[in-house]
Amino acid sequence: MSWEGIEKRRFVRANFPCTIVIHAPKEHTVSTHTENIGAGGIRVLIEERLDIGIIVGLEIYLYEAREPVTCQGKVVWLVQKESLYRKHLIFFDTGFEFQEIKEADRLKIKNIIEAIVLGKNDPGKNK
């Protein structure tokens, strides 16, 4: 399946690795790092296949010493990938669209992304 979502994005994304906890259905969690993030959503690489359209709980740790951004995320696309390092290990490149996110949190993410795009050294300093 080819991914054609980039043309549909309303928000700029940037590579900003941060820890994310995904509270998936069936009472389990997945902890990983973001591949990229924007004010409208995130991209992660996980070992679990989540169905497109499913809603999950998200905790996004933008900085180590801060409270996480908490919201819901809707799976809007996924692409199956095979590991380059281990045979038969499958990952799912997964895109989440933020749902029920506080506008202050969306603005916080937007400011970080803008700082990265503009080339500022530490987008989280003094925030």
Average pLDDT over residues 47-63: 92
Mean pLDDT of the chain: 83
pLDDT tier at 40 (50, 70, 90 boundaries)?
very high
d(CA 16, CA 35) in angstroms, rounded, equals: 7
- Class of the 12-117 domain? mainly beta
pLDDT of res. 7: 47
Which pLDDT score, from 0 to 100, does residue 3 have? 46
In percent, the amount of the chain with pLDDT more than 70 equals: 83
The model's pLDDT over 61-99, given as tens digits with 9 standing for 90+, comes to: 987 657 899 999 999 999 998 877 777 788 899 999 999
DSSP code per residue over 28-90: EEEEEEEEEEETTEEEEEESS---TT-EEEEEEESSTTSPPEEEEEEEEEEEEEE-SSSTT-E
pLDDT for the residue numbered 35: 87
